């Protein structure tokens, strides 16, 4: 039976597991993440081209150390073990793993002893990223060492005949400059993958699958105007044309002019059937007097469902399908080395809809990462200012207003936020930043305006750099840009007399304030 062109990444709890899958995909090979105990019967049915064991925080000799089904080593499928994954191979194949004489964390020099396959095309030495406390003290039978470092005499091993390889370092991180080349050698030289998985091939296959699944039925899509829902709507429209019915709900919590821009872009540029619903009054009346963040989120999510349900019913019984922009991180977020979880995270604007409304689901992006969705968007000619837009939370500006959400506070925040974004774009910084916004605080402070005393709101600017939002660092925006933003906000807007800049990283802080 022919192997598929998929690489299976088994997760043993590494913080870098998603990164492994992303790197493999960047090399043009499709990859899927599954928990470490992914059933052997499924692996036999799927027949991946190769398997990668992620790293992890455990020690192989711990009582409850996560280990895969031992039958995985007898399938004849190439295996690459990374860090803890290397130790798993060694432990299974009767090698010896001990606590290292010296823990190794950070950059190290790797000396390559064999350039045949995994390290083909590399120099005699290269820089790699280490992160381990255990190390190999005895190589397994029928394996040979192929690289070492000053601290680890056995830093990479192989059994060429059985196509099993292990490395003590992390090739998937940017701190290992030749990491992509090493992964490429595993994929192409050892697994025989072809590297023909591209955004263009995804679009072609997705369109065929959507048409086959939908037939002559209609599909409803909640179009928020964010990256995921926008790309989803355009892809669906290409596949099924006027069978697609989009609904945009203005909850009154959007950024300045956002709803107007969504309607204009999708009706005029893409000629998509779009129902616009202004539900501002409904949302604000339900949020009146509510200050607790989690309560706000629940009210907004529930109200969205009610409004969406009402609009969907107007379509009659013709709409059988609900399209959602679920991404791969949402699907795998709750899957860790502790084992698979039945709980799958849902965005607020889709949470509960399938159960309540009996739609069949269409989720074309459930195996894609955010950056892959952006690439597909560019391929579908969606404007760059929409594709490059910063992430925006489902509950919108409600979680950027500390305290009660009112129309006047929303209007004030919208204007302040707009100034901040304008200035970042003007300074050429917007695309370098993952997310930037203004938070309206629940405190007021004394200020002076002209000759008069003011007692007005304080606002905080928040801007972070990140790859995927899982961790983030505060953006180093030049002082003169921050000063200009502060001056504009306090001079142009009545109601804010003090501006601060948030210099917290995630962790320990979150990106949003609520």
Catalytic residue among 34, 38, 83, 191: 83
Q: Residue 266 in contact with residue 223, Cβ under 8 Å?
A: yes
Q: Residue 88 in contact with residue 53, Cβ under 8 Å?
A: yes
Strand ranges for 306-351 from DSSP E? 319-323
- Of the candidates 110, 136, 205, 29, the residue with the CA atom closest to the CA atom of residue 51: 29
Cis peptide before 86 (omega within 30 of 0): no
Both structure tokens of 13: 């709890």
Length of the chain: 514
Both structure tokens of 335: 């899957």
Please state the φ and ψ torsions of residue 58, each to the nearest 5 degrees.
Answer: -85, 170
Largest CA distance in the chain: 85
* DSSP letter (8 states) at residue 130: E
Q: Give the contacts of 112 (CB within 8 A, at least 6 positions apart).
A: 119, 122, 123, 124, 125, 126, 146, 147
- In whole angstroms, give the CA distance from residue 324 to residue 353: 10
Is 83 catalytic? The answer is yes
Catalytic residue among 34, 132, 172, 423: 172
Catalytic residue among 34, 38, 132, 170: 170
Could you tell me whether strands 164-167 and 79-82 are parallel, antiparallel, or unpaired per DSSP bridges?
parallel
SS3 83: coil
SS3 27: coil
CA distances from 264 to 89, 151, 233, 247 (A): 57, 61, 14, 13
- In whole angstroms, give the CA distance from residue 132 to residue 63: 19
Q: Give the contacts of 116 (CB within 8 A, at least 6 positions apart).
A: 146, 160
- In whole angstroms, give the CA distance from residue 160 to residue 171: 19
Is 170 catalytic? The answer is yes
Burial group, residue 105, by CB count within 10 angstroms (0-12, 13-18, 19+): exposed
Cis peptide before 438 (omega within 30 of 0): no
Is 155 catalytic? The answer is no
3-state helix, strand, coil in the chain (%, to 5): 35, 25, 40
Catalytic residues: 83, 170, 172
């Amino acid at each position: 039976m022919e192997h598929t062109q998929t690489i299976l990444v088994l997760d043993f709890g590494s913080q870098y597991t998603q990164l492994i899958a992303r790197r493999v995909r960047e090399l043009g090979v499709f990859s899927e993440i599954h928990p470490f105990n992914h059933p052997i019967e499924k692996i036999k049915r799927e027949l991946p081209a190769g398997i990668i064991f992620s790293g992890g925080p455990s020690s192989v000799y711990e009582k409850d150390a996560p280990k895969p089904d031992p039958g995985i080593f007898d399938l004849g499928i190439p295996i690459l073990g990374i860090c803890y994954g290397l130790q798993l191979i060694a432990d299974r194949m009767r090698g010896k793993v001990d606590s290292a004489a010296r823990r190794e964390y950070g950059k190290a020099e790797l000396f390559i002893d064999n350039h045949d396959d995994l390290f083909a095309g590399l120099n005699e030495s290269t820089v790699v990223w280490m992160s381990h406390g255990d190390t190999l003290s005895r190589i397994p039978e029928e394996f040979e060492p192929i690289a070492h470092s000053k601290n680890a005499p056995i830093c990479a091993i192989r059994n060429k005949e059985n196509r099993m390889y292990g490395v003590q370092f992390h090739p998937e991180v940017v701190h290992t400059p030749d990491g992509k080349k090493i992964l490429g050698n595993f994929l192409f030289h050892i697994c025989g993958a072809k590297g023909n998985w591209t955004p263009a091939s995804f679009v072609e296959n997705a369109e065929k699958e959507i048409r086959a699944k939908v037939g002559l039925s209609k599909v409803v899509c909640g179009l928020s105007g964010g990256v995921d829902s926008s790309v989803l709507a355009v892809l669906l429209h290409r596949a099924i044309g006027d069978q697609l019915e989009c609904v945009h709900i203005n909850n009154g919590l959007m950024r300045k002019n956002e709803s107007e821009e969504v309607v204009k872009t999708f009706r005029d540029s893409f000629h998509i059937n779009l129902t616009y619903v202004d539900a501002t009054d409904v949302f604000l009346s339900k949020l009146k007097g509510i200050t607790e963040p989690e309560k706000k989120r629940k009210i907004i999510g529930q109200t969205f469902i009610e409004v969406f349900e009402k609009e969907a019913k107007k379509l009659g019984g013709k709409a059988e399908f609900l399209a959602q922009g679920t991404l791969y991180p949402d699907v795998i977020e709750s899957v860790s080395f502790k084992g698979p979880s039945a709980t799958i995270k849902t965005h607020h604007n889709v949470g509960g809809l399938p159960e309540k409304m009996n739609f069949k689901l269409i989720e074309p992006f459930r195996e894609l990462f955010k950056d892959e969705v952006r690439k597909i968007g560019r391929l579908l000619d969606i404007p760059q200012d929409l594709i490059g837009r910063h992430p925006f939370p489902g509950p919108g500006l409600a979680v950027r207003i500390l305290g009660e959400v009112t129309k006047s506070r929303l209007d004030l925040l919208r204007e302040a936020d707009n100034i901040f974004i304008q200035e970042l774009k003007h300074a050429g910084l917007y695309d370098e930043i993952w997310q930037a916004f203004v938070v309206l605080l629940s405190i007021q402070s004394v200020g002076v305006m002209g000759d008069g005393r003011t007692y007005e709101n304080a606002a905080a600017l928040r801007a972070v750099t990140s790859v995927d939002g899982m961790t983030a660092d505060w953006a180093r925006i030049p002082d003169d840009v921050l000063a200009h933003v502060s001056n504009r906000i306090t001079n142009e807007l009545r109601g804010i007399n003090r501006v601060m800049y948030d210099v917290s990283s995630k962790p320990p802080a979150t990106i949003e304030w609520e």
